[in-house]
Chains A and B, each alone.
Chain A
Amino acid sequence: MISLETPKKHRVLVDQAHQVAMNMLRPISRKYDLAEHSYPKELDMLAAMIDGLSESGSSSGAGAAGVRREESDGDDGRVRNGTNLASVLSVAEMCWGDTALLLSMPRQGLGNSAIASVATPEQQARYAGTWAAMAITEPSTGSDSASITTTARLDGDEYVINGEKIYVTSGERADSVVVWATLDKALGRAAIKSFVVKKDNPGMKVERLEHKLGIRASDTAAITFTDCRVPAEDLLGSPEIDVKQGFAGAMATFDNTRPLVAAMAVGCARASLDLTRDLLAQAGVEVDYDRPAQVQSAAAAKFLQMEADWEAAQLLTMQAAWMADNRKPNSLEASMAKAKAGRVGSDITLSCVELAGSLGYSEVELLEKWSRDSKILDIFEGTQQIQLLIVARRLLGLTSAELR
């Protein structure tokens, strides 16, 4: 039966996440936006609480690791609302609170999602409790992640990693970093593997932290690897270079993390919408759902357009997660969700600043902050343009050589 409501079993979780966002993240939101690079120590207690919720099972399995697709999720014909949906819903609520703080949440890094997506069961168990950052981008390799130059060479029972990574979210704070490196550049994308490198590894060095437009509470590191030796068992998944499977293994991570980033955009945009609706109402502008937009004020009409786009982004995101929960291939839908949510996030947060005028532009309110935070969500884990490429290739049945 078709229903696009937040499912009953996740409502408690969503409410809890909302309370946390409202009472723990919002009060420190501006503080850490201003104090870039200082560690939000308040998050330690929060992270402990989230761990507790996970242990008790009352988190519905939500969180960075919630994207794993269990083989045991057998197909009994029943519709599943599982951890993928729980994760996008709770991430959106937390980003309604503060996107940068959600990204700084201990043990909830994108590296944790990568581990959950591709690690073997033995590795899952070994990395339980770690806080993993994700290192893919290099100074001269952004969207084209297949042409990374960081290398990993097998030497005895260790891999030796050499290269430079940038834009590593939580790169300084996390316990470990998931690094993409190639085993053999000549073999192309099939040879790209990911490795878990622990923070105390002497071959890994945080060179600097970036100064950014938004999500300033989240540290973004540049990291170098110089003859960095990691045990062979820290290669995630299979060490085989399967030319047939190609890039699919590594890219599978993105099918799982893109809905999460879409959810971040959805949450951040809703913060702007909620406040702007309130500010407009105080100014005497109420949105009437039954009257045509063109007979209402321009502000109300704009609001209706934004809210419609927001609803669309939210439902596309839920769809992608729902498909993952029900073990349907969702690359197309994950990219659709991220493309829509990414651009809608920017339009909404920027338009809300415009509607609120200099009040929105000033640091007195958080509207200007949300419009800075939202921009990265249309960039990381695949830019808008990369999502369109993926969607177009799938729809048109084209290879990456045909549609470049």
Chain B
Amino acid sequence: MSRITDPFKRSATGASAPRRTRRHGLAAHESRDPIGFALAGLNKLAQSDLIDRVGLRRQSEQVVFTTTRSGFRTVAAAGRRFGKVASGSGPGTRPTTSRPTTTRHGDVFDLTPTEDEQKLVDVVTDYATEILRPAAAAADESCLAPVEVLAAGLEIGLPILGVPEARGGLFEERATMAGTLVAEALARGDMGLALAAMSPGAVATALGLWGTESQQQTYLPAFTGPEVPVAALALTEPAVLFDVLEPATTATRSGDGFVLDGLKSGVVRGAEAELFVVGALLDGRPTLFLVESGTDGLTVEADPSMGVRAASLTRLALDGVRVPAESVLGETDGSTYTECVRLSRLAWCALAVGTGQAVLDYVTTYVNEREAFGEPISHRQSVAFMVADIAIELQAMRLVTYKAASRAAAGKDFSREVALARQLCGSKGMRIGLDGVQLLGGHGFVKEHPVERWYRDLRAVGIMEGSVLV
């Protein structure tokens, strides 16, 4: 089924949030033809010699196709069919929360990662340095993560980090701490590309944590196989003062299954995704639903935002989307959903720490090299103290995030700790982005330097929900 949708028109049963598009200062009663907008953008992109210079022409043509398709057509045909495995509605294989070591979490204060965690971080750091960082500027420009970059991420096992070992994953125990360290290392390369690379893993991790035997057998083999599907955890909605615990997206019981209606935003690589985990209110409680991209009533629209553009953000509209009873992921009492929100916020905190570290590394070199009034600007307290404050707040963000992550990995309550981490990473992370640009002055404002991108990326922290999970 294929139909043209009008992005200005709200679905009758959809989200309560008003859908606002770019107005260019136009008054509310002015209405513009969205196709005209897209054409103007296409024209501009076709004229760009940047894409030829960096060898991105083929890829950008691909984006144009994707954006157009995702903007105006249903994604119904894009997805593969996941062969349903009917047996086993009981809980699937879960990662354990106890580690096969003699020390238990909480016995000893320690900031040293385990050997396995460190090995993983080393590999991911190489990937972030050698592959993500060099690709970051172009990916930001084109709103697309290059295929080779993502392929390399699959090779190092990013999607299966949170999948139980028995289901083909990396760790026997809950890999929240490892996932946090990995997210940080990835974002030190680039936050947008980190999101793109981590998005399938978010869904796989959710299946590992909350999937039934049948759900795990249906979906997880695809993630551990050679053709890893693109998948997205869709919790955010485009609403002012959005509270993720009260999504406007609804699930209503109908026959054997449910009907989903609403609008999700910030959906990573939504146009390519074959499987979504969508948050919706069922009987007044937020619940997670597995939705395959081939389902009728789904529309994806490109939603380029201020930053994390390499993640190809989209809006996902659900208009009378029928899903079967077994598409509920986890509990319907809100507990699974809340845990998912917390683990997702934890991942965002880790991303903020990684990007904050990138800023610190960059400005440290810059202020020592840049001269003014006959000496490096680092010799001035007003400059040096800003760098010191970045370092102090960054380490603070890191420690508070690690505390939340280590508690989550041990199966302890971490609601307080993750809330504090998010508070800190949202506000201090943004401050680091802001000061990063300020320290470079005018040079920070132009795209020759990456600090303006980090500034835009860091604004996502504290706003976005879902998308990533550790």
Q: Is the CB of A315 within 8 A of B396?
A: yes
Q: Is the CB of A336 within 8 A of B392?
A: yes
Interface residues of B, CB < 8 Å — how many?
A: 59
The answer to whether the Cβ of A292 comes within 8 Å of any Cβ in the partner chain is yes
Kindly identify which residue among B107, B109, B245, B402 contacts A322, using a CB–CB cutoff of 8 Å. B109
List the A side residues contacting B381 at CB < 8 Å. Answer: 388-389, 392, 403-404
List the B side residues contacting A56 at CB < 8 Å. Answer: none
Interface digits, A47-87 against B, CB 8 Å rule (1 contact, 0 not)?
00000000000000000000000000000000101000100
The answer to whether the Cβ of A156 comes within 8 Å of any Cβ in the partner chain is no
Kindly identify which residue among B110, B385, B420 contacts A2, using a CB–CB cutoff of 8 Å. B110
Kindly identify which residue among A2, A293, A307, A389 contacts B113, using a CB–CB cutoff of 8 Å. A2
Q: Is the CB of B109 within 8 A of A1?
A: no
Shortest Cβ distance from residue A245 to the other chain B in the assembled complex, whole angstroms? 25
List the B side residues contacting A291 at CB < 8 Å. Answer: 243, 245
Kindly identify which residue among B108, B244, B405, B423 contacts A305, using a CB–CB cutoff of 8 Å. B423
Q: Is the CB of A319 within 8 A of B399?
A: yes
Chain B, 388-419, CB within 8 A of any chain A CB: 388-389, 391-393, 395-397, 399-400, 402-403, 405-407, 410, 415-419
The answer to whether the Cβ of B368 comes within 8 Å of any Cβ in the partner chain is yes
List the B side residues contacting A252 at CB < 8 Å. Answer: none
Q: Is the CB of A3 within 8 A of B109?
A: yes
- Which residue, of B105, B396, B406, has the highest number of chain A Cβ atoms within 10 A? B396
Interface residues of A, CB < 8 Å — how many?
A: 48
- Which residue, of A2, A292, A318, A389, has the highest number of chain B Cβ atoms within 10 A? A2
Kindly identify which residue among B109, B112, B177 contacts A7, using a CB–CB cutoff of 8 Å. B109
Cα-based distance from A322 to B112 in the complex (angstroms): 11
Main secondary structure of the interface of B (DSSP, over half): helix
- Which residue, of B243, B368, B384, B417, has the highest number of chain A Cβ atoms within 10 A? B384
Q: Is the CB of B108 within 8 A of A8?
A: yes
Chain A, 1-60, CB within 8 A of any chain B CB: 1-8
The answer to whether the Cβ of B188 comes within 8 Å of any Cβ in the partner chain is no
Nearest A residue to B114 by beta-carbon distance? A1
Q: Is the CB of B241 within 8 A of A294?
A: yes
List the A side residues contacting B415 at CB < 8 Å. Answer: 289-290
Q: Is the CB of B392 within 8 A of A339?
A: yes
Kindly identify which residue among A3, A292, A305, A319 contacts B106, using a CB–CB cutoff of 8 Å. A3
List the B side residues contacting A389 at CB < 8 Å. Answer: 381, 384-385, 388
The answer to whether the Cβ of B427 comes within 8 Å of any Cβ in the partner chain is yes
Q: Can you give 13 A-B contacts (C-beta < 8 A)?
A: A1-B99, A1-B113, A3-B109, A290-B342, A308-B423, A311-B417, A336-B395, A340-B396, A391-B391, A391-B392, A395-B364, A398-B379, A398-B384
A-B pairs, 3 with minimum CB distance: A312-B396, A289-B419, A392-B384
